[in-house]
Amino acid sequence: MGSATAEQWFRCLTPATATPRLRLLCFPHAGGSAGYFRPWGKAVPAGVEVLAVRYPGREDRFREPLVGSITGLADPIAEACATLTGAPLAFFGHSMGAMVAYETARRLAGHPALRAVFLSSRPAPGHETKRGLANATDRELIADLTELGGTDAEFHKHPELLELILPILRNDYSVVDGYQPEPGAAPLELPVVGYLGDAEQYVDEAGVAAWAERTNGPFALRSFTGGHFYLADHTEELLSDLLGRLEIR
């Protein structure tokens, strides 16, 4: 413990503020990276600091080995979060990132800065359907990415891009399928909000609503029009809802 730092694990997407009103830490999806949340840094009001998690093996950490488990991500991220002081902290995790955000929040039980956890497009543990995509062919992975809309549909025309994306995606799908929550894990003591798109193909409202079982705090659920990557089309509306729940205007 004690070796992970905020500089190593988080990218700040807003101008640095000495005393932010809120730090919003964003956890990317499978195959995703910190850069996915770059538009959020331009959409938040003054005084809100947007941080995005820098998963190893991608972007400017591409030389580092990929991490093979949710625990392997949540442990160092929780260490790095413990160094964030002086401002309230909230988590937003999308898809695989929701699982990492949840496990990181569990490790920060009692941390005075952490105020709420926002979990997007991911069913609660025990309510998901394992899709087995870690063993899919390249063609199947490309088709799935294109269908979900999370990556530019033209990416498959660039072999050098595929060489980078597909190993990351296989790793992350293996991480998702291999996730097993700790038996008897104590519920969070935090407000939790579940988000999803109303046209999701592999995530349903009941599965996201089941996150209520994982907290003793208040739970709320909201859907937006769109599929798995609804947030790309609803950045301002989603952030308004999220920040409003934290009484940040």
Q: Which of 29, 94, 156, 228 is catalytic?
A: 228
Alpha-carbon distance values, 94 to 29, 34, 120 (Å): 5, 12, 5
**Residue 84 located in a structural domain:** yes
Task: Tell me if residue 95 is catalytic.
Answer: yes
Which CATH number belongs to the domain containing residue 105 in this structure?
A: 3.40.50.1820
Structure tokens at 12: 């700040």
Domain residues for the domain of 48 are: 6-126+183-227
Q: Which of 29, 33, 94, 95 is catalytic?
A: 95
Judged against a pLDDT cut of 80, whether residue 23 lies above it is answered with yes
Which of 228, 35, 217 lies closest to 148, judged by CA?
228
**Residue 174 located in a structural domain:** no
**Residue 175 located in a structural domain:** no
Q: Looking at residue 249, what is its pLDDT?
A: 82
Whether 188 and 198 have beta carbons less than 8 Å apart is answered as no
- At 148, is the secondary structure helix, strand, or coil? helix
* Model pLDDT for residues 104-116, shown as the tens digit of each residue: 999 999 899 999 9
* Model pLDDT for residues 172-225, shown as the tens digit of each residue: 999 999 999 998 899 999 999 999 999 998 999 999 999 999 999 999 999 999
Task: Tell me if residue 228 is catalytic.
Answer: yes
Alpha-carbon distance values, 174 to 75, 100, 133, 136, 187 (Å): 18, 14, 8, 11, 25
**Residue 165 located in a structural domain:** no
Work out how many domains the chain is built from and give that number.
Answer: 1
**Residue 132 located in a structural domain:** no
**Residue 93 located in a structural domain:** yes
- Cα–Cα distance, 109 to 37 (Å, whole number): 26
**Residue 146 located in a structural domain:** no
Considering the entire predicted model, what is its pTM? 0.94
Which of 225, 214, 163 lies closest to 190, judged by CA?
214
- Cα–Cα distance, 33 to 220 (Å, whole number): 27
Give φ, ψ of 185 to 5 degrees: -60, 135
